[in-house]
Homo-oligomer: A and B are copies of this chain.
Amino acid sequence: MSILVVGSVAFDTIQTPFGKAEKILGGAATYFSLAASYFTQVRVVAVVGDDFGPEQEEVLRRRGVCLEGLQRAPGKTFHWGGEYGENVNEAKTHFTELNVFENFRPEIPSQYRGSEFLFLANIDPVLQAQVARQMSGARLVGGDTMNFWINGKRAELLQTLKLVNILLINDAEAKMLAGETNLLRAANQVLAMGPKALVIKHGEYGATIFFGDSGFGIGRHPFRAPALPLEEVRDPTGAGDSFAGGFMGYIASQGELNREVLKRAMFYGGVMGSFAVERFGPERLQNLTREEIDARFQLFRELTHLE
C-alpha cells in the first residue's frame, strides 16, 4: 500500500567531527521517502527551486519514489546549514534559508488522494492540517513537529494533533508539548491531545511507543525498541525522519494494524535511523538491500531479546 509524505525536500550544508558536506540533498521528506522506499510505494508532496537538478531527483526516483507532487517554484531550494559537535544530539544551526519553502502551499495531485497512509513531516502545523483534511480517507496519519511550532504555533498545532493518529517526536519535544518533566506523564498528556499513539525517540537509547485510551484496541502497555550502539555517528542529520520512514513504511507494507505490526515497525524505525547516521546525508539510505535491513533488524533483536 502507498504512503504519501508532505515535508521538506532541501539542501543541507553540514559539518560534523567527521567532515563537511556542502549543499547536499536533504530535507525531512527526502530521508523519510528513502527509508520508507524499502517497504512500500512512496509519494512526495514538496517544493523545490530552480537549483534542484535532475541528479537530485534521480536519487529519489532510483528508489521508486513518485515525484509527481514535487512542485517547482522560481527561486532557490530550502537550504539549511548546521554543525554537530562531539555531542551529536545537538545541532548548531548556521543558517536557515527558507527560499521557495516560505510560500509552500501543499497541493495533493488527484492520483495521490487514494494513498492509504499519510505522513506529515515537520512543517507548519497549519499546512499539516490542510493536507490532513485533503486526505481524510487515509487509514492512518503519522506526524512530526518541533520546538519551533510547539512554542510558536501552539494553538494551531493542537488543532493539527486532533488529525494525527501517531505522533513521532523526541523526549525534549514531548516534555515541552506537555509542560511536564516526567516522560510517562508527558506521554499521557500528549495522548490526551488527540493521537492514538505517541512514539518518543530517545536518540541513542532507542524509542518508546505509548498508547492512548482510545488507541488501536491493543491495550495501553508501552513498547520500547532499542537503538544500536555505534562507534561512529558520522552525521545525525535525518535520523528521526529515517526512523519515521522505516516505522511508517513497514506499517504501510502490512495488511493489518495490530500490536505486533507496531512493535516490529518500532524496530524497523530504529534500524533505518541507525543506517542513516553511518554516512553523510542520505548516502547510506540510497543503496541498501532488504537483506541488509533484515540482518540489522536481527541484530536489534539480539541486542534486547532473552531466549
Contacts and interface: CB of A to CB of B under 8 A. Distances in A.
Interface of A: 86-87, 181-185, 187-188, 202, 204-206, 208, 210, 221-226, 229-233, 260, 263-264, 267, 301-307
Contacts of A183: 204, 229
21 contacts: A87-B181, A182-B230, A182-B232, A182-B233, A183-B204, A183-B229, A184-B229, A184-B230, A184-B231, A185-B231, A188-B231, A205-B206, A206-B224, A208-B229, A210-B229, A222-B303, A223-B304, A226-B304, A301-B306, A304-B304, A305-B306
A268 to B, nearest CB: 11
A202 B230 CA distance: 16
A21 B306 CA distance: 38
Q: Which 9 pairs of residues, A with B, have the shortest CB-CB distance?
A: A205-B205, A184-B229, A86-B181, A184-B231, A304-B304, A224-B226, A224-B304, A224-B303, A260-B307
Contacts of A230: 182, 184
Given A182-B233, A184-B230, A224-B303, 9 more contacts: A182-B232, A184-B231, A222-B303, A223-B302, A224-B304, A225-B304, A263-B307, A264-B306, A267-B306
